Amino acid sequence: MPIHTISAALDNASSSTLTTAAITAVGLTILRTYLGGRTSTWERESAGKMILIAGPLSPTILALIHHLLHLPSPPQILCLVPFPSPLPEEILTILHTLRIGITNPLAQLHCEPLPRTPAGVREFARKWSSVEQGLAGEGGRRIDAILLSSGWEIQSEPINSGEEWTTEQFHFHLITALLPHLLRQPAERNIRIISLLSPTWAAAIPSLHGVRRSDSLVQQVGERSLRALLVMKHFQLILDTLASATYGKKLDVPIPDGSVKKRDKSIQSNIMALGVVMPWARTEVVRGLLKVDSSWLRWFLYILFYPIIMFLTPSPRKSMQSILFALSAPVRYSSGPADGSVITGSSDTTTDGTDMEENRRGVQGGDVVRDCAVIQVPPVLSDSTRAKEAYDGLEKEVEGRIKAKQDSPSNKSKSE
């Protein structure tokens, strides 16, 4: 019997050996807990709220959906997966499995196909906005959060090809297509648009200064995340400007040929664009970084060293904690550490002496979250001119793709 074998081995072990083993076990447990990252302690009232999740159902996203559905006051979740109708059997099986475990009748999980094409986004926006009067509340169908759940993964092969858009173009077109609907939502409703950023974003910062060290997957995904962050920053400025024009006190600034209106910076939009820096998840990041699917040898080595990878990387339940923080943390209206402090990660204070706990007490539009705390990004990513250039460039790309699709021979033949 195994129990007798273990008992005999422990009887023959010396006290020093047992002490060393106990200390090693405690040390490994502490290290494993530290590597897993912090856990979000915020819990937002979610009953009746609607969360849209646009992207593939990765392990981290599935863990997030499972957690949200088992909250005491669960929200309604609509998954928009990048597949045409009808959905694959694998997706339907996963969703059915998640629904079986639901015990709260208030929890609802739905799934709709949303191909990464202009026609797919246009059709979804039309269906979402066309609702019969009396079947929806003020401002039409309710939206409380939009999670753009793709773009942070490292994949050896791109998931989009042919007529499909890039991840940035798809996200931009989806949000701008839903923007008129979001602006009609009641002002007291807090809406959060969350973009997931790759943990490799910092490695691509030199590319903003014209220094491109390599053309690796890490570099490409990092640059994509930096662009998403810059677009998010400018998009938040647009939202705050619209809110200021509607609710703020307009101040006349005299100039020689007339007057201009100055934005009331004390007014924040109820729509918040947030970025979440994801951890080094073993499936979404590490597996693609090691190019496991490129050869049988890499696959064998990945399985062989998987226990070590599993120990060093966070689980899906831990990986989704920063997303949960961005969804649940209260709104921060006062200027906090995100306005000029740098988080060191190993200290309890920022470089200007601000308590790091302030970074975990709330979020506001334009914040970047990492490890369940708001972080300060480098100054180059706070440059409004650079952010506007990234936004305008992406807007032109989307407009060009839409126009090219409309002018394609297949569309012309259909119209005729």
Per-residue pLDDT of 381-399, as tens digits, reads 888 899 999 999 999 998 8
Per-residue model confidence (pLDDT) at position 266: 76
Residue 304 CB coordination number (10 Å) = 9
Lowest-pLDDT range of 169-173, 326-330, 412-416: 412-416
Summarize the confidence of residues 173-180 as an average pLDDT.
92
> With 80 as the cut, is the pLDDT of residue 103 above it?
yes
- Residue of 98, 97, 95, 110 whose CA lies nearest to 50: 110
137 — pLDDT class (breaks 50, 70, 90):
low
Domain containing 326 equals 42-201+223-248+267-279+314-331+359-411
In a domain, 229, yes or no: yes
52 — pLDDT class (breaks 50, 70, 90):
very high
CA–CA separation, 227 vs 336, rounded Å?
Answer: 25
In a domain, 291, yes or no: no
337 — pLDDT class (breaks 50, 70, 90):
very low
3 — pLDDT class (breaks 50, 70, 90):
confident
Per-residue model confidence (pLDDT) at position 161: 41
Per-residue model confidence (pLDDT) at position 204: 87
Q: What is the mean pLDDT of the chain?
A: 81
Q: Quote the pTM value.
A: 0.84
In a domain, 158, yes or no: yes
Lowest-pLDDT range of 60-64, 116-120, 212-216, 223-227: 212-216
CA–CA separation, 193 vs 53, rounded Å?
Answer: 10
353 — pLDDT class (breaks 50, 70, 90):
very low
Instruction: Please check whether residue 290 is in contact with residue 282, taking contact to mean a CB–CB distance below 8 angstroms.
Output: no
Lowest-pLDDT range of 12-21, 127-136, 210-219: 127-136
- Residue of 346, 340, 343, 354 whose CA lies nearest to 382: 340
Lowest-pLDDT range of 35-44, 208-217, 312-321, 394-403: 208-217
Pick the more confident residue, 340 or 410. 410
Per-residue model confidence (pLDDT) at position 262: 67
Percent of the chain with pLDDT over 70: 82
> With 80 as the cut, is the pLDDT of residue 276 above it?
yes
In a domain, 162, yes or no: yes
In a domain, 243, yes or no: yes
Pick the more confident residue, 249 or 28. 28
Domain containing residue 109: CATH number: 3.40.50.720
Summarize the confidence of residues 230-237 as an average pLDDT.
94
Instruction: Please check whether residue 116 is in contact with residue 161, taking contact to mean a CB–CB distance below 8 angstroms.
Output: no
Structurally, how many domains does the chain consist of?
A: 1
402 — pLDDT class (breaks 50, 70, 90):
confident
Summarize the confidence of residues 190-204 as an average pLDDT.
92
Per-residue model confidence (pLDDT) at position 339: 38
CA–CA separation, 128 vs 110, rounded Å?
Answer: 14
Summarize the confidence of residues 171-176 as an average pLDDT.
93
Per-residue model confidence (pLDDT) at position 254: 52
> With 60 as the cut, is the pLDDT of residue 304 above it?
yes
Lowest-pLDDT range of 47-56, 59-68, 242-251, 326-335: 242-251
158 — pLDDT class (breaks 50, 70, 90):
low
Question: For 192, how many CA atoms within 13 A lie in the half-sphere containing its CB?
Answer: 27
In a domain, 387, yes or no: yes
b/e map of 163-196 (b: 16 or more CB within 10 Å)? ebbbbbbbbbbbbebbbeebbebeeebbbbbbbb
Give the H/E segment covering residue 375: strand 374-375
β-bridge mates for residue 193, sequence order: 146, 273
Per-residue model confidence (pLDDT) at position 145: 94
Pick the more confident residue, 346 or 390. 390
Per-residue model confidence (pLDDT) at position 232: 94
In a domain, 237, yes or no: yes
Per-residue model confidence (pLDDT) at position 272: 94
> With 50 as the cut, is the pLDDT of residue 348 above it?
no
In a domain, 135, yes or no: yes
User: Which tokens go with 413?
Assistant: 């033949």
